[in-house]
């Protein structure tokens, strides 16, 4: 469910996550891994966890793994900006060369990793010292979509989890459970230091209660029954139907669009061509900066900005702390847009991006 809609049914899970936050205030840490299929509400629980941490004034660090992301990508996103003010701290002088290899803004002239050292373990120890310097009273580290994380990132997360008996950190992670957990993530989920929470689909009465709670006047009982059946227990689908009902003053819903793919196509049809071009490109490229999108879409900065605003208004994209300032509302929406492209169209977009990145890398400085 989107953060503007009530949380449905996940009170017990949220209580567990809130307890992990409270533990940091008592000087100890806890690690929790939320596992479930796509669209079952893992990211929503992460958002609620962030809200609970904000209410308590706890330091919050957020990162997200992405498909085909680089080494340590979610850790860089979580620590880069928040740690910048500590780059010159004298108490971190010994680990500054280690952090400088991963975090932008950290500068060191020294090589520190010995040939036989375990880079993931060394980085984890450096992050532990950094966390203590950033907040002696504890912190919350939220890592979304760990199923896409590289092996080294998973190793660092495992090391952090094993260190929580002496580190006031609430480490909250999410991962998809289908079709199978990748082997490194399987080891992470089996770690005794990490509590595993498996999210199941909502029950039909819970979905019906959620729709009733929105108080849509004139929603026929037979339509309500159809919607409950179409949601099939997935909060993401429920979220989309609630949005459609809110957007339609007559509270009428087209039952032809009761799958997420169909709902995404309906939103795409309402967008101007430039916005569709941008979404097509983003569906193939994933995270991208404005320079790359400008080249791929052949839109100037003004048109690109307008197109992104339209995409955000459609709710397919939402604001985020990414290079572009936006991200997909859900990865399944990105998949739905990408699936509408022919393989040749996907290859063309990917080739343009690759050519541009190669040229950008090889240009003389």
Between 108 and 30, name the one with better pLDDT. 30
Counting Cβ atoms within 10 Å, is residue 64 exposed (0-12), middle (13-18) or buried (19+)?
buried
- Report pLDDT for 54: 94
Overall residue count recorded for the chain in this entry: 365
Give 285's contacts (C-beta < 8 A, 6+ positions apart): 292, 293, 296, 349, 350, 353
What's the mean pLDDT in 214-242?
82
**Selection from 221, 265, 229 nearest residue 244 by Cα:** 265
- Report pLDDT for 109: 63
Position 110 confidence tier, pLDDT thresholds 50, 70, 90 = low
Position 2 confidence tier, pLDDT thresholds 50, 70, 90 = low
Position 277 confidence tier, pLDDT thresholds 50, 70, 90 = very high
**Could you give the residue ranges of the DSSP H alpha helices within 69-118?**
73-83, 96-100
- Report pLDDT for 111: 55
Please report, for residues 14, 45, 60, 196, the alpha-carbon distance to residue 11 in angstroms, rounded to integers and kept in the order given. Answer: 5, 10, 21, 16
Please report, for residues 165, 213, 222, 251, the alpha-carbon distance to residue 206 in angstroms, rounded to integers and kept in the order given. Answer: 37, 10, 17, 20
- Report pLDDT for 67: 82
Position 364 confidence tier, pLDDT thresholds 50, 70, 90 = low
- Report pLDDT for 213: 79
- Report pLDDT for 4: 59
Pairwise CA distance, residues 348 & 336, whole Å:
18
What's the mean pLDDT in 112-134?
83
Work out the angle at residue 326's Cα, subtended by the Cα atoms of residues 322 and 2, and round it to the nearest 5 degrees: 115
Between 189 and 61, name the one with better pLDDT. 61
**pLDDT tens-digit readout, 160-218:** 999 999 899 999 999 988 766 677 778 887 888 999 999 999 999 988 888 887 777 66
What's the mean pLDDT in 219-223?
78
Residue 159 has pLDDT above 80, yes or no: yes
What's the mean pLDDT in 284-288?
83
- Report pLDDT for 297: 92
**pLDDT tens-digit readout, 323-356:** 888 988 888 899 999 999 999 999 999 998 888 8
User: Residue 170 phi/psi, 5° resolution?
Assistant: -95, 105
User: Residue 304 phi/psi, 5° resolution?
Assistant: -65, -45
* Beta bridge partner(s), residue 169: 139
Between 244 and 35, name the one with better pLDDT. 35
User: For residues 324-360, b (16+ Cβ closer than 10 Å) or e, as one string?
Assistant: bebbbbbbbbbebbbeebeeeeeeebeebbeeeeeee
pTM above 0.75, yes or no: yes
Pairwise CA distance, residues 144 & 74, whole Å:
8
């Amino acid at each position: 469910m989107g953060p503007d809609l009530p949380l449905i049914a996940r009170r017990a899970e949220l209580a567990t996550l809130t307890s992990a936050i409270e533990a940091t205030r008592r000087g100890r840490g806890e690690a929790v891994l939320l596992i479930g299929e796509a669209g079952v509400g893992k990211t929503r629980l992460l958002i609620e966890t962030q809200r609970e941490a904000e209410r308590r004034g706890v330091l919050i660090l957020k990162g997200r793994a992405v498909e085909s992301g680089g080494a340590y990508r979610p850790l860089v996103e979580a620590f880069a900006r928040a740690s910048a003010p500590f780059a010159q701290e004298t108490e971190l002088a010994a680990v500054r060369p280690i952090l400088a290899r991963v975090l932008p803004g950290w500068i060191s002239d020294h090589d520190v990793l010995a040939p036989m050292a375990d880079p993931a373990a060394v980085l984890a120890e450096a992050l532990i010292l950094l966390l203590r310097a950033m907040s002696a009273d504890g912190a919350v580290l939220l890592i979304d979509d760990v199923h896409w994380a590289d092996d080294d990132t998973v190793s660092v997360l495992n090391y952090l989890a094993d260190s929580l008996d002496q580190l006031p950190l609430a480490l909250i992670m999410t991962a998809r459970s289908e079709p199978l957990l990748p082997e490194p993530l399987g080891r992470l989920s089996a770690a005794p230091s990490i509590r595993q929470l498996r999210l199941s689909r909502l029950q039909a009465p819970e979905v019906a209660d959620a729709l009733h709670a929105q108080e849509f006047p004139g929603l026929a009982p037979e339509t309500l029954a159809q919607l409950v059946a179409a949601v099939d227990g997935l909060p993401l689908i429920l979220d989309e139907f609630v949005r459609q009902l809110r957007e339609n003053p007559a509270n009428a819903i087209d039952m032809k669009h009761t799958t997420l793919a169909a709902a995404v196509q309906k939103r795409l049809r309402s967008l101007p061509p430039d916005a569709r071009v941008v979404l097509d490109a983003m569906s193939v490229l994933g995270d991208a900066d404005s320079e790359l999108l400008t080249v791929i879409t052949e839109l100037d900065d003004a048109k690109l900005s307008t197109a992104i605003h339209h995409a955000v208004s459609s709710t397919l994209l939402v604001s985020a702390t990414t290079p572009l300032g936006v991200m997909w509302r859900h990865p399944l929406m990105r998949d739905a847009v990408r699936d509408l492209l022919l393989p040749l169209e996907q290859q063309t977009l990917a080739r343009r991006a690759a050519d541009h990145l190669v040229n950008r890398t090889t240009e003389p400085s």
